A and B are shown apart, each in its own frame.
Chain A
Amino acid sequence: MNREFLLLSTALVLLNLIGTGWAAENGGSDGDRIPMLKVGTINQINEANPWDYYFGVYSMIFSHQGLVRFNNEGDIVPELATSWETDDLQKWTFHLREDANWHDGQPVTANDIKFSIDYNLEKDPLSKSYIGSIDSVEAPDKKTAIINLKKPDYNFLNTIAVVKMIPEHIFQSVDEPKKYNDKNAAIGCGPYKFVSFDRDAGIVTYQANENYWGAIPAIDAIELRMFKNPDALMLAFQKGEIDLPYYYSKGISYYYVPKLLENDDIGIEVYPERGITNVLWFNTAIAPFDNKELRQAFSYAVNYEELKNMFTAGYGTVPSAGWVPNGTLYYIETRSLTQDINKSRALLDSLDFKDIDGDGLREMPDKAKFQPKLLTRSDLPDSVRAAEMLKKYFAEVGIDMQIDLADKSTHGQIMDEKKTHEVSLAGTTFWGMTMGEGYGSGYTDTRNYGWSMVSDPKYQSMVDDLGMTQDKDKRKDLAAEIQNYYAEEMPQFTIYSMNIIQPYNALYAGWEYNPLHGILSYGTLSNLHKA
């Protein structure tokens, strides 16, 4: 009995050891896998519909793909297209990968690409704002898509990078996509599949796509939890309820940092911002802001160092006159912006902006009071504070700046539609800087967004040349010319720019940053592992 018991026990121990050894061997990598990544955000998703703004943003990160995408350096790399070619920058031919499938198992074909673009242009008037330059799409075979543009555009890949493809077999019978809130509406071909949206719990769940054509996602499931205020989000993060506080296209406020630094389980990375946090825009189409010396006088009045310390707590940079952020392809060094009160005053004097009535504030050459209006958004506390600081700086050189606060809607109407602003304070995004022909031309050129309403033929000619030039050396020269133009003409200038402060769960390693999607990059999704 004892012998039998001993034999049985030994056998069980051996079996257990073998089992443990096998598990360790196979679970070495499995053990490093992340079963669930909990992401917290204040972005509000209203419906699991790709036409819902923020669901669309997260679809592009997790479940949907485009022909190409931005890599971690901000360069264009293949996604659904393995390669592409163009001779004239007007006809673009994309060769699709063979192994991409929709989440329901159907293959991704060139017909889906053609359908996606045609469908967007037909059903969504908004799409005209970014793919309105497309004239037609052809699908000569299952894996070749040809996109014909209305005019040559070198920057087209940047534009098409944000167009997510949708399955024709799902949407061909859908007349009103914005009202199509079926679960099938979320079918994409990306590394994650949409699972559920619980509005009351504020949770969107994604699951790894086991049939994904690329590297197997490193995280089994992703839970996106929505908060309505950043403080509650950060409390949840400190408490360990979420692994990552995530803001689309920006980081957290610096004032959370000291508390986070006390927690060993929290890591913090600071990434350079490829958009610009706050820019002072002049409407160069109206007098007297059509005068570059006057704009320069404004620029010399600002104390950039103080603004950097005040608004970024050291997590920012002193801007340069060339405006384009460091890190942009073909970025050149231009002069750093510095305060020079005497130079500002001298410039204003030379333009005959002088204090006639002795109140310490300048009048215009026609003797009328010079009280430029500074428009900014009332719902952005930092912008309101920055506007007050600017008012103080400009008063030092005798400019009586009037702050004009407007809510988001009114601000948008004035800047985007009416164009009646004089001077305005607003930021830019990474993608916005790549729009138009890049280098912020979308924001500057009056033919585009044109917040600074530049219609100078010299500038527009540089922009047009950028759109038609493939030669790298020539592009480099043009990029330098544009930055020098900004430095000299100053249709707008940066007052401060904040870097991206991104905290994360330090128990996981392999976080990678991407200028478009931030830390929720493909690198993170495919490489994250237990530290």
Chain B
Amino acid sequence: MLSSRRAYFLSKLVRYSFTFLLILSLNFALPRMMPGDPIVNLLGEEALHNDPRMIERLRAEHGLDRPLHIQYIGYLRSLARMDLGYSIHKNLSVAELMENSLLWTLLLVFPSVVIGSILALLFGSLAGFKNNSRTDFLLTALALLFYTCPPFLLAMLILSIFAFHLGLFPLGNLTSGGRLGLDYVLDVAWHLFLPVAALSLLGASYKFLVVRNSVTQIFDEQFIVAARAKGLTERCILLRHVIRNVLPPFISMVALSFGFMVSGALVVEIVFSLNGMGTLIYDAVVARDYPIMQGSFLVLTIFVLAANFAADMLYGVADPRIGGPH
């Protein structure tokens, strides 16, 4: 049993390593396959004298004049040295840029995913459990409302109501500036409250619908009839049998949430004026800033793979049949 689990773990590890290498190559290739040019972008409107030598000099400065395979080898070598390069547009190293943005994205996304997932599991189970009841209708209607509401609109409404009209929260940014110690922590929490709330609601809405439907379906299964026949209480059936069966698809969803954390957070970052990975990548894509795109995609790759790996491992815990002898 133990060796089969180890084999399962190892086979996953080998597969993930291969995927990681493949993605590293894609991270290099994709930005360069996009139309547009980082140097022409850098020159922008200031470059009224379109001197080709200047463009060539800038290309050489950023190593973009070398053949692609040489650039690729250089990219892999830099990665081996943990060197993510220097931004073409932002005058900072990619590591410096990401260090700051990643921290804030994690502070924004991690609580949102956790809160959103808990809300979805809790209310989704309740709605599924009380299928076709008034509670179910109300919760489902609310979830559909949030699910179908464009993220930008929802975030703007939250900002407008709670920050502008009620004045309970700030209109954006991560801190008020000039705070230290506990005051700073509380200030950051105050600033992050609305963005986390917006992301949590957005994340919870679609997970809620999946959980609710899963719970409803599982309640029709034969083993639930058997459990009822044994005389188990409804609460006991829900907690011991239904939720446990909902968990594998739920874990997948949560893992995917981490994967989509950056794209999901982008709109919220823009509305609440936050410096996170979403806007960093968006700006880099618009400006064709290859080093930032490569570095950010690498970090995202690691996060997605880690989240999926964790989900794979958790499947084994949630469902002992997975990774077992079968």
Residues of chain A at the chain B interface (Cβ within 8 Å): 44, 46-47, 49, 51-52, 125-126, 128-130, 132, 178-179, 181, 198-203, 225-229, 231-232, 235-236, 238-239, 241, 379, 406-410, 412-413, 416-417, 429, 432, 435-436, 442, 448-450
Q: Which among B32-40, B75-83, B130-138 touches the partner chain?
A: B32-40
Q: Does the CB pair B175–A410 fall under 8 Å?
A: no
Q: Is B22 an interface residue (CB 8 A)?
A: no
CA–CA, A225 and B172, complex, Å: 10
Q: Which of B50, B160, B167 contacts A417 (CB 8 A)?
A: B50
Q: List 20 A-B contacts (CB under 8 A).
A: A46-B97, A47-B91, A47-B92, A130-B49, A132-B51, A181-B91, A198-B178, A200-B275, A202-B173, A228-B270, A228-B273, A232-B273, A235-B159, A239-B164, A239-B171, A379-B286, A410-B35, A412-B44, A413-B35, A449-B48
Q: Does the CB pair A201–B174 fall under 8 Å?
A: yes
Closest residue to B35 on the A side, CB-wise? A410
Q: Does the CB pair B91–A178 fall under 8 Å?
A: yes
Q: Does the CB pair B40–A409 fall under 8 Å?
A: yes
**Chain B residues with CB under 8 A of A52:** 90-91
Q: Does the CB pair B286–A226 fall under 8 Å?
A: no
Closest residue to A441 on the B side, CB-wise? B48
Cβ distance B271 to chain A, nearest Cβ, rounded Å: 6
CA–CA, A107 and B170, complex, Å: 43
**Chain B residues with CB under 8 A of A235:** 159-160, 163-164, 171
Cβ distance A130 to chain B, nearest Cβ, rounded Å: 7
Known: A49-B91, A239-B164. A442 touches B58 (CB 8 A): no
CA–CA, A450 and B49, complex, Å: 9
CA–CA, A406 and B288, complex, Å: 13
In residues 16-32 of chain B, which contact A (Cβ within 8 Å)?
A: none
CA–CA, A416 and B50, complex, Å: 7
Q: Does the CB pair A125–B90 fall under 8 Å?
A: no
Q: Which of A44, A129, A225 contacts B47 (CB 8 A)?
A: A129
Cβ distance A235 to chain B, nearest Cβ, rounded Å: 5
Q: Which of B37, B92, B176, B177 contacts A46 (CB 8 A)?
A: B92
**Chain B residues with CB under 8 A of A129:** 43, 46-51, 54
Q: Which of B46, B91, B159 contacts A130 (CB 8 A)?
A: B46
Q: Does the CB pair A227–B172 fall under 8 Å?
A: yes
**Chain B residues with CB under 8 A of A178:** 91
Cβ distance A250 to chain B, nearest Cβ, rounded Å: 13
Q: Which of B40, B43, B49, B92 contacts A132 (CB 8 A)?
A: B49
Closest residue to A235 on the B side, CB-wise? B164
Q: Does the CB pair B273–A408 fall under 8 Å?
A: no
Give the number of chain B interface residues (Cβ < 8 Å).
Answer: 55
**Chain A residues with CB under 8 A of B54:** 125-126, 128-129, 132
B58, B160, B279, B288 pick with most chain A CB within 10 angstroms: B288
**Chain A residues with CB under 8 A of B163:** 235
Q: Does the CB pair B172–A202 fall under 8 Å?
A: yes
**Chain B residues with CB under 8 A of A125:** 54, 57-58, 61
Q: Does the CB pair A413–B37 fall under 8 Å?
A: yes
Q: Is B312 an interface residue (CB 8 A)?
A: no
**Chain A residues with CB under 8 A of B86:** 179
Q: Is B104 an interface residue (CB 8 A)?
A: yes
Q: Is B206 an interface residue (CB 8 A)?
A: no
Q: Does the CB pair A231–B156 fall under 8 Å?
A: yes
Cβ distance B170 to chain A, nearest Cβ, rounded Å: 9
**Chain A residues with CB under 8 A of B97:** 46
Q: Does the CB pair A448–B49 fall under 8 Å?
A: yes
Cβ distance B41 to chain A, nearest Cβ, rounded Å: 5
Q: Is B274 an interface residue (CB 8 A)?
A: yes
**Chain B residues with CB under 8 A of A241:** 171
Q: Does the CB pair B172–A228 fall under 8 Å?
A: yes
A-B contact sample (11 more), CB < 8 A, given A132-B51, A200-B104:
A46-B91, A126-B47, A129-B43, A200-B174, A236-B172, A407-B286, A409-B34, A409-B35, A409-B40, A412-B41, A413-B41
**Which 10 pairs of residues, A with B, have the shortest CB-CB distance?**
A409-B36, A201-B177, A129-B47, A200-B174, A228-B273, A410-B36, A198-B177, A410-B35, A202-B173, A178-B91
**Chain A residues with CB under 8 A of B92:** 46-47, 181
Known: A201-B176, A407-B36, A409-B288. A232 touches B48 (CB 8 A): no
Q: Does the CB pair B40–A412 fall under 8 Å?
A: yes
Q: Which of A46, A130, A238 contacts B48 (CB 8 A)?
A: A130
**Chain B residues with CB under 8 A of A199:** 100, 275
In residues 155-211 of chain B, which contact A (Cβ within 8 Å)?
A: 156, 159-160, 163-164, 167, 171-178
Cβ distance B106 to chain A, nearest Cβ, rounded Å: 14
Q: Is B42 an interface residue (CB 8 A)?
A: yes
**Chain B residues with CB under 8 A of A46:** 90-92, 97
